[in-house]
Amino acid sequence: MGKSAADDKILSYNDVVLRRSDLDILSGPYYLNDRIIEFYFSLLSSSHPSEDILLVPPSIAFWITNCPDVDGLKDFLEPLKLPDKNLVIFPVNNNDDVSLAEGGSHWSLLAYYRSANIFVHHDSNQQMNKRHAMKLFKSVVGYNGGPSSTSNDKYQECIDTPQQVNGYDCGLHVTATARTICSWYESSENKDGTDLWFSALKEQVTPSVVGEMRKEILGLIKDLMAKQ
């Protein structure tokens, strides 16, 4: 396939534009890119329209992590209305080069749960992204505001996070983990912060479920393409 064909737009969904090359990524055993994760997060937002939940697009999470200008970061974060959210999910990427779009080689997920004043990092490859998740936590924690004091916000590495079984499914783990946490949040009767989603992850983010996510996302895109 030529470069121009690979760049052809195939779907516009909310603010996300997918290209033909994205289908190729989903068709084979490849590392997910920013666009596919942003598409799935946008889909999850539509499925879980609660004002309490925010799924942050990869490009915004990356900028929060690497923004060199503290004042600029404040202007960037205010529209997200973090103090109004109880559950915020950030994708974490290990790209350190702000000049390189879609760099990096590993995805993980940082989830903030205001009811428990906790940021939890879920990494499917032995805490490979711990430094990047901590950097994101430190960037965002001072702007978290809201009714509970940010000084109480803790950071935790979830050492029981389900682990990937190959070198390329980290992005699928992020999508499956985000879906599980959102479902847990909406179905949980215990929203006072004494319960977390860890047992749900163990039950629902299995190698077979993660493997099926690739086909599932591809199917969702094709269904939406057919309705255009």
pLDDT in 10s for each residue of the chain, 228 residues? 555 687 899 999 999 999 999 999 999 899 999 999 999 999 999 999 899 999 999 999 998 998 888 777 888 888 899 999 999 999 999 987 766 656 788 999 999 999 999 999 999 999 999 999 999 999 998 887 754 444 689 999 999 999 999 999 999 999 999 999 999 999 876 556 667 999 999 999 999 999 999 999 999 999 999 988
Structural domain boundaries enclosing 70: 3-227
pLDDT number for residue 146: 53
CATH assignment of the domain containing 172: 3.40.395.10
Which pTM was predicted? 0.92
Query: Sheet of 87-93: strands edge to edge?
Result: 53-55, 87-93, 107-113, 118-122, 154-157
Total of domains in the chain? 1
Q: At what angle do helices 58-66 and 70-77 cross, to 10 degrees?
A: 150
Q: Is 226 helix (H, G, I), strand (E, B) or coil?
A: helix
Please state, in angstroms and rounded to a whole number, the distance separating the CA atoms of residues 141 and 118.
Answer: 10
Decide: residue 155, CB within 10 A, 0-12 exposed, 13-18 middle, 19+ buried.
middle
pLDDT number for residue 57: 95
Q: With residue 59 as reference, give the H or E element that holds it.
A: helix 58-66
* Chain position carrying tokens 């470069």: 3
> 56: Cβ–Cβ under 8 A, 6 or more apart, which residues?
41, 64, 80, 88, 89, 90, 91
